[in-house]
Amino acid sequence: MTNADYAAVIGLEVHCQLGTRTKLFCGCRNTFGEPPNTHVCPVCSGQPGALPVLNEAAVRLAVRAALAVEGTIRATSDFDRKNYFYCDLPKGYQITQFDAPYCQGGGVRLASGRTVRLRRIHLEEDAGKAIHDRGDATLVDLNRAGVPLIEAVTEADLQTADEAHEFLTALKEMLRFAGVSDCDMEKGSLRCDVNVSLHRPGEPWGTKVELKNLNSFRFVRDSLEHEIARQSGLLERGAGHEIRQETRLWDADRAETRVMRSKEDADDYRYFPEPDLPALVIPATLIEAERAALPELPAAKRARYTETLGLSAYDADLLSSDPVVAHLFEAALETAASPKSLANLIANEVVPALAEPAVRARAEHGHPVAPADLARVTREVESGAIHANGGRRVLELLVRGDERDVDRILQEEHLLLVTDEAALERWCRQALVGREDVAREVRAGKTKAIGALMGAVMKASHGQAAPERVRALLQRMIDESEA
Ligand code: ADP
Ligand code: ZN
Ligand code: MG
């Protein structure tokens, strides 16, 4: 509800690049960040007479996406041509699915329990990239032309900017866990258009405005909040301030939307059936194979982490929002100590480090740190052999690619705590000399007083005495000296 009078109605169109090795209709590599126009062939550059051949791997990933959102997969669907002219589209048309998308229905559950229904998901090819920021020139890079995409269209079930943000986060997590895409908005693997209108509850929906080019979830939220306020301002002013059906662009620097095109020049794409491709037939055996291979999705993980492992909702969320993190956690858990200690170390050292490109890049080829090492450090911290800060220090080094093994790091960084009973006793006895005053306080129940003695032991041991052992030892020695 934007104010007392109006409610927002929001629907999203989400494009997601499929993480295949090659493009949708040719053998060119599906890559990002390579020199421009180095992954181009007659098919994806639109040479006359070149024929598309469907990439089965793209169909498999598309099916996986449909299964993740519990959509209904059509056994037979069609490809269509969407015709328009733009410099990043050399063929003059995009191959997509119009009347008969491969998937219909399905949805994504929000935390509130409400489900955002999906209207459809279709399979299509991406266009190339037009680069406008080189002075007067517009440059074209066709590496992206023909990269496989799915487009998921929601029903207009969303009501607030926050809900749109939550939906996108949930969808992105599902697609990443399902292995459909890396969903990296910075690389453009995930892109979103937003449709929004206002109405008085109980009355028909209002005229919608479409917001395009939203390349971060924050922009989705900001632009929606802005657009809802803009529309309610117009509605309140009344006659003469109608909302026009138009497409607007979000200008993040100015924090405002502005018109890109209005309904009058709405596109007519002249869709027609793609004559160069047969119908898309998805055999039941393929669907069943993908269903069997579908990994556990974030919602199920979250439930298992809280219910079976006893983790807090906060920890469960953190561990199940990134496949790299979840897989590391689960692999380490097989050999490690308590899930809670493991979750703490991952939250403090691994999750923040994954924001660093170098750490993230290493994680793409496996775990950011060997699960056995992570498990070992967790156990050492739990047993008191290393201090919690020491554990964090080892992980900080390992995650950033330190070549040394855990033992060497512990030794060379002086992180191993002294747990040897005789050595600890010696330090404790020294600390107690002449401190009968403290001992009396402790006996009188002021357990905090023991801190002064601990400080002395830490000083004598250069910080390497295991603190919990020292505390217990001091307590025992004081109790025993009572007689
Ligand atoms: P168009 O034909 O303009 O592309 P669609 O009916 O295909 O519109 O819907 C595109 C998206 O806009 C969908 O996500 C849909 O839920 C959403 N949508 C449709 N009507 C409205 C509306 N009045 N307000 C907000 N969103 C809407
Ligand atoms: Zn090609
Ligand atoms: Mg549409």
User: Does ligand 1 have an atom closer than 6 angstroms to the CB of 196?
Assistant: yes
Domain boundary among 250, 285, 320: 285
Characterize 333-365 residue by residue with b for buried, 16 or more Cβ atoms within 10 angstroms of its Cβ, and e for exposed: beebbebebbbbbbeebbbebbeeeebeebbee
- My answer on whether 271 and 382 are in the same domain is no
- My answer on whether 400 and 326 are in the same domain is yes
User: Does ligand 1 have an atom closer than 6 angstroms to the CB of 155?
Assistant: yes
Q: Is residue 33 part of a domain?
A: yes
The domain tally of the chain equals: 3
pTM of the model: 0.86
Ligand 1 atom nearest to 207, measured from its CA: 23
Residue carrying the six token digits 């080829």: 365
Name the pLDDT band for 1 (thresholds 50, 70, 90): very low
- My answer on whether 13 and 55 are in the same domain is yes
- My answer on whether 260 and 349 are in the same domain is no
Q: Dihedral angle at the C-alpha atoms of 118, 122, 128, 130, nearest 10 degrees?
A: -30
Q: Taking 50 as the threshold, does the pLDDT of residue 2 lie above it?
A: no
Kindly report the average pLDDT of the chain as a whole number. Answer: 93
Q: Which residue has the CA at smallest separation from atom 6 of ligand 1?
A: 155
pLDDT at 457: 92
Q: Taking 60 as the threshold, does the pLDDT of residue 445 lie above it?
A: yes
Residue carrying the six token digits 């979103």: 192
Q: Is residue 291 part of a domain?
A: no
**Distance, first Cα to last Cα, the chain:** 72
- The neighbour count for residue 294, using CB atoms within 10 Å, is 15
User: Does ligand 1 have an atom closer than 6 angstroms to the CB of 156?
Assistant: yes
Could you tell me the residue range of the domain that residue 428 belongs to? 421-482
pLDDT at 230: 94
Q: Is residue 103 part of a domain?
A: yes
Distance, CA 39 to ligand 2 centroid (Å)?
A: 7
Ligand 1 atom nearest to 154, measured from its CA: 14
3-state secondary structure 99-157: CCCCEECCEEECCCCCEEEEEEEEEEECCCEEEEEECCEEEEEHHHCCCEEEEEEECCC
Q: Taking 50 as the threshold, does the pLDDT of residue 241 lie above it?
A: yes
Distance, CA 371 to ligand 3 centroid (Å)?
A: 46
- My answer on whether 269 and 362 are in the same domain is no
Q: Taking 80 as the threshold, does the pLDDT of residue 262 lie above it?
A: no
* Strand order across the beta sheet in which 93-96 lies: 93-96, 80-83, 272-273
Ligand 1 atom nearest to 196, measured from its CA: 25
Q: Is residue 1 part of a domain?
A: no
- My answer on whether 358 and 266 are in the same domain is no
Name the pLDDT band for 93 (thresholds 50, 70, 90): very high
- My answer on whether 373 and 408 are in the same domain is yes
Ligand 1 atom nearest to 210, measured from its CA: 12
Predicted confidence (pLDDT) per residue in 373-425, tens digit: 999 999 988 888 888 888 999 999 999 999 999 999 998 988 888 888 899 99
Percent of the chain predicted with pLDDT > 90:
76
Percent of the chain predicted with pLDDT > 70:
98
> Using an 8 Å Cβ cutoff, are 124 and 151 in contact?
yes
Q: Is residue 266 part of a domain?
A: yes
- My answer on whether 196 and 83 are in the same domain is yes
Predicted confidence (pLDDT) per residue in 178-216, tens digit: 999 999 999 999 999 999 999 999 999 999 999 997 889
Domain boundary among 368, 390, 412: 412
Q: Is residue 290 part of a domain?
A: no
Predicted confidence (pLDDT) per residue in 458-482, tens digit: 898 888 888 888 999 999 999 888 6
- My answer on whether 258 and 301 are in the same domain is no
The closest ligand to the CA of 157 turns out to be 1
| Rg, the chain, Cα only | 30
- My answer on whether 239 and 143 are in the same domain is yes
Name the pLDDT band for 263 (thresholds 50, 70, 90): low
* Rounded Cα gap, residues 143 and 130, in angstroms: 11
pLDDT at 4: 57
